[in-house]
A and B are shown apart, each in its own frame.
Chain A
Amino acid sequence: KNEVEQSPQNLTAQEGEFITINCSYSVGISALHWLQQHPGGGIVSLFMLSSGKKKHGRLIATINIQEKHSSLHITASHPRDSAVYICAVTNTGNQFYFGTGTSLTVIP
């Protein structure tokens, strides 16, 4: 059983669509992270959350601690958003647990 579950595994969207990626976790956490990995392999940290909601440009991340659930939203999606999005959590012992990632393809 994975400590972090993401859905969907794969997602294809038309440019301009609103996208939601979901993440559920089963461990107590100190923080939840959303990461973006482009086809070249590099990883970028998008958000770190411990409560509430954060927004960077067209990206919005929310977390519900009681339900152990987080969502990553992309508004007005663009082909350059095509990447793998990975949810990760850290527990109070600084252990990291990763989801298997959501592969997003945005078609022009």
Chain B
Amino acid sequence: DSGVTQTPKHLITATGQRVTLRCSPRSGDLSVYWYQQSLDQGLQFLIQYYNGEERAKGNILERFSAQQFPDLHSELNLSSLELGDSALYFCASSVEGPGRSTEAFFGQGTRLTVV
């Protein structure tokens, strides 16, 4: 158990809908990362938050947004869903100071299926 909790584990929804994925980081970790893993594109970094602020942005679509709350949990919002958004979405957390890389601990992922 990594200590990172993601909910829900599975999600099936229709095209055009909006979903929210939730991540609770390990106790004490200030950084949360979101990743997308699809069959045709492998793992891709979406976005990172550190202590409530956006720290780094990857290949995140404009239809997607994220935030980190004062209690440090994070939510990834996916809207106007398309079939191609079907993927595993991972959250990871780390204790990270400014300018430092530290080991990341991954949640079990949310498997999103868009039908």
The total number of A-B Cβ pairs within 8 Å is: 56
Q: In the complex the two chains form, what is the Cα distance from A99 to B41 in whole Å?
A: 10
Q: Contact at A90–B105, with CB atoms within 8 Å? A: no
Q: Contact at B103–A98, with CB atoms within 8 Å? A: no
Q: In the complex the two chains form, what is the Cα distance from A43 to B104 in whole Å?
A: 10
Chain A interface, >50% SS class: strand
Given A45-B104, A95-B56: A100 and B99 interface contact (C-beta under 8 Å) = no
Question: Would you list which residues of chain B between 37 and 76 have a CB under 8 Å from chain A?
Answer: 42-45, 48, 55-56, 58
Instruction: Give chain A nearest CB distance to B97 CB in angstroms.
Output: 12
Q: Contact at A96–B90, with CB atoms within 8 Å? A: no
Q: In the complex the two chains form, what is the Cα distance from A77 to B73 in whole Å?
A: 38
A66 within 8 A of B: no
A11 within 8 A of B: no
Residues of A at the B interface (CB closer than 8 Å) are 30-31, 33, 35, 41-45, 48, 50, 86, 88, 90, 92-101
